[in-house]
């Protein structure tokens, strides 16, 4: 009998289409207001919500518990990282963009932060990944700490959106004398003064207390001007890092200026003052005159009435906004004396002989609101503003202004220093919020996600189709990641027609049409810009029934796997694809971007829901057990997730687990990969009549619809098999056990100790159908065999695979290792007898003095993923014929052709293969008759492993 499900499960059922495409995130039984519901109602809701096109469905993460093994060990490292990392560091850029206090938090750096690569134009992406990771961690473990962290982040992002929706408001901080206005770095905020502020004075004093928090050059304390030709400014740091005052009516070349002698200290209050009178200008720093110019012919009167009178903003658009605090800004229509300037150091102006500025005087006494009162008596109220104004729609949420999105609409070529994939970043935030909602029922997260889609629709729906096609084709500014998938997932919850319409606005027709026609146009394309697009297009097929989406996705997958796939399951070189079939010709230090593997796994999984072709799960196993596991370093770290960006396949490459300070896209997807290892171990048929066992991984499945559990006990891949035990009750269903394509001999299944009839076929599913009862035990035996895979464009360049595991040589040489493997090959074709096992280290072997180890081990050893095959002489069973191993023009050797006939039933079958192959080669003139006879005789005399 299936147990009653919680309110959380009901919500999951109602939103199954949204929850399951990427990874089901339910936290069954953990909702704060759980209520029981009849099982039939739950099942009906789930069936109604699942896409009709899905013939199989995944289980939620909390339906599958990882048991001890390599996955649980790797996951724990990431769980600990997620538990301990200060999320305020990730929220810093969001809060700063909204002008909110950041609490002294420091963004992690790399791609994530105000000082990140390309002007920090990708900031915010990592926060979305982190939210998804936390959601998966909570769904998998039920540990409240992850839900609490999600709540903190969602609450902060909600505050950020509210702040962005309104005009900026004062951030009151402790000032020099009382309160002060702080412009948080990254807020793009400044104070706008009325045009009459200078009053046409011919003599003037300007005085301000400032507390800079960043050392950017050319950030204005004030700038009064019309443009970059007529202006008067004061900066805390010029190009030399010292204060500068300048005035001009004819641009930078005609500036009359004053330069200080020392940099202003950061995070300390400094007093700056400028006086102009009778042709003399003086710059004061903390009451001391540091520069005097007796030849100043310009003054405010010469400038006239100016349009832009700003504190903290420059009339030069490329200059930074001042980051720091302002206190007591005064303007007098005379040049104060040195003594008067000195008196301002220890008192408010109102308490000195100078008095308040008679042209303008701002005390910043306010503690709220967005305006500042003028105490000069002239009533020149100042207003706090943003340089970019504000969002075009109240749903906008980002860690930077909307300007990147706006500028993309007119771009014709990419420039990531100006626009770096804003919709990609929007996708990460959107998905993090949706995952947060699905894991914790937080309505705020759903509202934020829905609002983001409303905002995107309000922008993109107004653009002509030609503009959209141009935008989405731009590298990398137009990259939008998996946003289509997430929007369709959200639409399954909101039901808003605008959301489905929005998803279709990301159609990249040139790519869809080419792939639908099975025309390969991938050469030269950025790999990860395009892989996640197709997962979204499959979801669009689910939502619309338009077959071109699904056809294009299937054909696209076949253009990558295997024609552009390395042995570890990864793809791409320096983020891009080369020509189809070029593997050896692309080996470098920048192969296999980790994001690509993450997203190909998602696409493979999605396609399997529609078409149970075992090739999709064969690929899933390959990439998961090799690149994805191997991309995570086997080390704990509180600050970094320790995930690779590229995985170099050149000889002697050492994996870098902290590229670009650890906040690239791949660290983000790596966090997600590490907290959903169990997402594809089991699938169920849509009508619950069958259970697919896709991966042999230690785990326990709770199949509530059937009222049973399935527990896998295995140390796979260190164990060549798995035991599945049924628990909980009695249920009839087909158990579909995956027979991997590499399992070419010896795959066996027993139920309760008795062999199951039938002939398992490699690259298929073996079905056992019965009424299962608690205690039933299924034993699967999967013998491994060591084999090679050859580079498509150079058969002599090969990689070793033992069962599903890629074995890599650990050797510091930067030249390809030269290896021979036929010397002691078994009659089965297994090359393993040529290697020597390492005692006490499962899956470790040595050959020619080099240790070979599983790629999945996240070490910093120099590795050789590929080697150069070298079989100079014909050898059988350690017996050397003395005959040179001849080769055809394509590189295929005599031994290659002989052993291609494996497995052999016995020695006689091998000798027969040797004789027929030798005869063919002698006839073709590739081998002399005498040498051929020697080869056959050696084969007859040799002894072979099984």
Quick one: which of 184, 203, 283 has its CA closest to 238? 283
Q: Counting Cβ atoms within 10 Å, is residue 144 exposed (0-12), middle (13-18) or buried (19+)?
A: exposed
Confidence check: pLDDT of 130 > 90: yes
Q: DSSP readout, 885-915?
A: --B-TTS-BHHHHHHTT-S-SSHHHHHHHHH
716: exposed, middle or buried (Cβ count in 10 Å: 0-12, 13-18, 19+): buried
pLDDT tens readout for residues 351-371: 999 999 999 999 999 999 999
pLDDT in tens, 242-277: 999 999 999 999 999 999 999 999 999 999 999 999
Collect all residues with Cβ–Cβ distance below 8 Å to 209 and sequence separation of at least 6. Answer: 175, 176, 177, 180, 269, 270, 271, 272, 326, 327, 328, 329
C-alpha 875/C-alpha 895 separation (Å) is 9
pLDDT score, position 2: 33
pTM: 0.94
Mean pLDDT of 119-133: 97
DSSP state of 830: -
631-671 pLDDT, tens digit each: 999 999 999 999 999 999 999 999 999 999 899 999 999 99
Residue pLDDT, tens place only, 2-43? 333 333 343 344 334 334 444 467 654 333 322 233 333 333
User: What is the per-residue DSSP string for 845-888?
Assistant: EEETTEEEEETTS-----EES-EEE---EEEETTEEEEEE--B-
Are 483 and 427 within 8 A, CB to CB? yes
> Does domain 189-386 match CATH 2.60.120.200?
yes
pLDDT (tens digit, 9 = 90+) per residue, 168-215?
999 999 999 999 999 999 999 999 999 999 999 999 999 999 999 999
Query: Is the CA virtual torsion 391, 397, 401, 404 positive or negative?
Result: negative
Whole-number pLDDT of residue 521: 98
pLDDT more than 90, % of the chain: 94
Q: What is the mean pLDDT of the chain?
A: 94
Reported as type and span, the H/E element at residue 491 is helix 483-494
Summarize pLDDT for 875-909 with one digit per residue, the tens. 999 899 999 999 999 889 999 999 999 999 999 99
Are 138 and 146 a contacting pair, CB within 8 Å? yes
**C-alpha separations of 748 from 215, 570, 653, 725, 905 in Å:** 68, 30, 39, 16, 18
- Residue 754: strand, helix, or coil: strand
* Local structure of 388: helix, strand or coil: coil
Helix 527-544, helix 594-610: angle, nearest 10? 20
CA distance 481 to 425: 8
Please name the residue that has the structure tokens 């702080």.
182
pLDDT tens digit sequence for 819-843: 999 999 999 999 999 999 999 999 9
Cβ proximity of 856 and 623 under 8 Å = no
Residues 80, 636 contacting (CB under 8 angstroms): yes
Q: How does 240-263 read in b/e, with b if 16+ C-beta sit within 10 Å? A: eebbbbbbbbeeeeebbbbebeee
Cα 194 to Cα 201, 300, 328, 383, 870, distances in angstroms: 15, 15, 17, 9, 81
Report the pLDDT value the prediction gives residue 499, as an integer from 0 to 100. 98
Q: For 520-541, what is the mean pLDDT?
A: 98
C-alpha torsion 768→769→774→777, nearest 10:
-10
Whole-number Å distance between alpha carbons of 41 and 221: 65
How do the domains of the chain map onto residue ranges?
A: 85-170+398-505, 189-386, 873-946
Considering only the C-alpha atoms of the chain, give the largest distance between any 2 of them, rounded to a whole number of Å: 116
Output the pLDDT for position 11: 38
Q: What is the mean pLDDT of residues 458-464?
A: 98
Q: Are strands 721-727 and 708-713 parallel, antiparallel or unpaired?
A: antiparallel
pLDDT at 564: 98
Q: How confident is the model at residue 24, as a pLDDT?
A: 60
Mean pLDDT of 567-589: 98
Summarised one tens digit per residue, pLDDT across range 46-95 is 333 679 899 999 999 999 999 999 999 999 999 999 999 999 999 999 99
pLDDT in the model for residue 745: 85
Whether 146 shows a pLDDT value over 80: the answer reads yes
């Amino acid at each position: 009998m299936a147990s009653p499900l919680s309110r959380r499960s009901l919500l999951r059922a109602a939103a199954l289409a949204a929850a399951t495409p990427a990874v089901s995130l339910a936290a069954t039984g953990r909702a704060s207001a759980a209520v029981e519901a009849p099982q039939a109602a739950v099942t009906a809701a789930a069936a109604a919500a699942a896409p009709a096109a899905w013939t199989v469905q995944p289980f939620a993460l909390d339906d599958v518990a990882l048991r001890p093994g390599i996955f649980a060990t790797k996951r724990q490292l990431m769980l600990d990282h997620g538990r301990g990392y200060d999320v305020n560091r990730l929220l810093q850029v969001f809060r700063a963009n909204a002008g909110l206090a950041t609490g002294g938090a420091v963004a992690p750096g790399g791609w994530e932060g105000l000082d990140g690569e390309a002007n920090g134009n990708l900031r915010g992406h990592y926060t979305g990944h982190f939210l998804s990771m936390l959601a998966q961690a909570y769904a998998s473990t039920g540990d409240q700490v992850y839900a609490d962290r999600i709540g903190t982040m969602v609450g902060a992002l909600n505050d950020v959106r509210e702040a962005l929706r309104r005009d900026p408001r004062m951030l009151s901080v402790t000032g020099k004398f009382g309160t002060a206005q702080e412009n948080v770095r990254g807020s793009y905020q400044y104070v706008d003064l009325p045009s009459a502020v200078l009053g046409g004075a011919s003599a003037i004093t300007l005085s301000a207390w400032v507390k800079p928090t960043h050392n950017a050059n050319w950030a204005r304390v004030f700038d009064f001007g019309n443009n970059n030709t007529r202006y008067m400014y004061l900066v805390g740091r010029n190009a030399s890092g010292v204060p500068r005052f300048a005035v001009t009516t004819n641009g930078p070349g005609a500036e009359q200026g004053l330069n200080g002698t020392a940099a202003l200290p950061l995070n300390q209050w400094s007093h700056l003052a400028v006086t102009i009178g009778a042709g003399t200008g003086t710059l004061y720093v903390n009451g001391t005159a540091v520069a005097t110019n007796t030849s100043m012919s310009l003054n405010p009167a010469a400038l006239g009435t100016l349009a832009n009178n700003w504190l903290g903003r420059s009339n030069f658009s490329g200059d930074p906004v001042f980051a720091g605090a302002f206190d007591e800004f005064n303007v007098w229509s005379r040049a104060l004396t040195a003594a008067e300037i000195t008196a301002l150091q220890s008192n408010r102006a109102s308490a000195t002989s100078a008095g308040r500025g008679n042209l303008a005087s701002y005390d910043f006494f306010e503690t709220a609101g967005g305006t500042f009162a003028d105490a000069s008596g002239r009533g020149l109220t100042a207003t706090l503003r943003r340089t970019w104004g504000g969002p075009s729609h109240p749903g906008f949420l980002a860690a930077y202004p909307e300007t990147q999105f706006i500028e993309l609409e007119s771009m014709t070529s990419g420039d990531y220093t100006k626009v770096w994939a804003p919709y990609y970043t929007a996708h990460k935030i959107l998905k993090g919020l949706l995952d947060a909602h699905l894991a914790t029922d937080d309505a705020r997260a759903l509202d934020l996600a829905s609002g983001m889609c409303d905002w995107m629709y309000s922008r993109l729906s107004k653009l002509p189709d030609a503009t959209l096609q141009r935008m989405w084709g731009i590298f990398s500014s137009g990259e939008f990641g998996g946003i289509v998938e997430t929007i369709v997932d959200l639409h399954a919850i909101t039901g808003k027609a605008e959301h489905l319409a929005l998803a279709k606005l990301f159609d990249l027709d040139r790519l869809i049409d080419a792939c639908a026609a099975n025309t390969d146009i991938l050469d030269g394309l950025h790999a990860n810009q395009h892989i996640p697009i197709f997962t979204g297009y499959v979801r669009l097929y689910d939502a619309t029934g338009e077959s071109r989406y699904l056809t294009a996705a299937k054909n696209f997958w076949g253009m990558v796997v295997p024609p552009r796939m390395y042995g570890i399951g990864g793809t791409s070189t320096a983020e891009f694809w080369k020509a189809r079939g070029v593997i050896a010709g692309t080996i470098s230090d920048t192969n296999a971007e980790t994001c690509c593997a993450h997203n190909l796994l998602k696409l493979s999984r999605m396609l399997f829901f529609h078409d149970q072709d075992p090739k999709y799960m064969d690929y899933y196993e390959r990439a998961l057990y090799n690149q994805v596991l191997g991309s995570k370093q086997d080390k704990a770290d509180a600050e970094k997730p320790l995930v690779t960006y590229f995985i170099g396949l050149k000889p002697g490459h050492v994996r870098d687990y902290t590229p670009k300070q650890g906040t690239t896209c791949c660290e983000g997807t790596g966090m997600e990969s590490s907290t959903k290892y169990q997402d594809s171990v089991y699938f169920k048929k849509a009508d619950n009549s069958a259970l697919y066992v896709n991966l042999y991984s230690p785990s326990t499945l709770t199949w509530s619809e059937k009222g049973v559990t399935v527990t896998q006990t295995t140390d796979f891949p260190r164990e060549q098999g798995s035991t599945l035990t049924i628990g909980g009750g009695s249920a009839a269903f087909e158990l579909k056990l995956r027979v991997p394509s590499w399992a070419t001999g010896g795959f066996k299944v027993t139920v309760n100790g008795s062999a199951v009839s039938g002939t398992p076929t490699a690259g298929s599913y073996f079905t056992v159908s019965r009424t299962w009862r608690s205690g039933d035990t299924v034993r699967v035996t999967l013998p491994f065999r060591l084999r090679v895979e050859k580079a498509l464009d150079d058969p002599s360049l090969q990689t070793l695979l033992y069962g599903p595991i890629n074995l890599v040589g650990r050797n510091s040489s930067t030249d390809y290792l030269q290896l021979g493997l036929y010397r002691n090959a078994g009659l089965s074709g297994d090359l393993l007898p040529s290697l020597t096992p390492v005692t006490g280290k499962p899956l470790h072997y040595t050959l020619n003095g080099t240790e070979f180890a599983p790629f999945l081990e996240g070490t910093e050893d120099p590795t050789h993923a590929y080697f150069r095959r070298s079989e100079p002489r014909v050898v059988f069973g350690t017996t050397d014929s003395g005959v040179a191993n001849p080769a055809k023009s394509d590189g295929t050797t005599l031994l290659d052709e002989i052993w291609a006939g494996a497995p052999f039933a016995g020695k006689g079958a091998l000798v027969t293969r040797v004789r027929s192959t030798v005869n063919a080669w002698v006839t073709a003139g590739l081998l002399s008759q005498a040498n051929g006879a020697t080869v056959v005789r050696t084969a007859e005399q040799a002894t072979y492993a099984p």
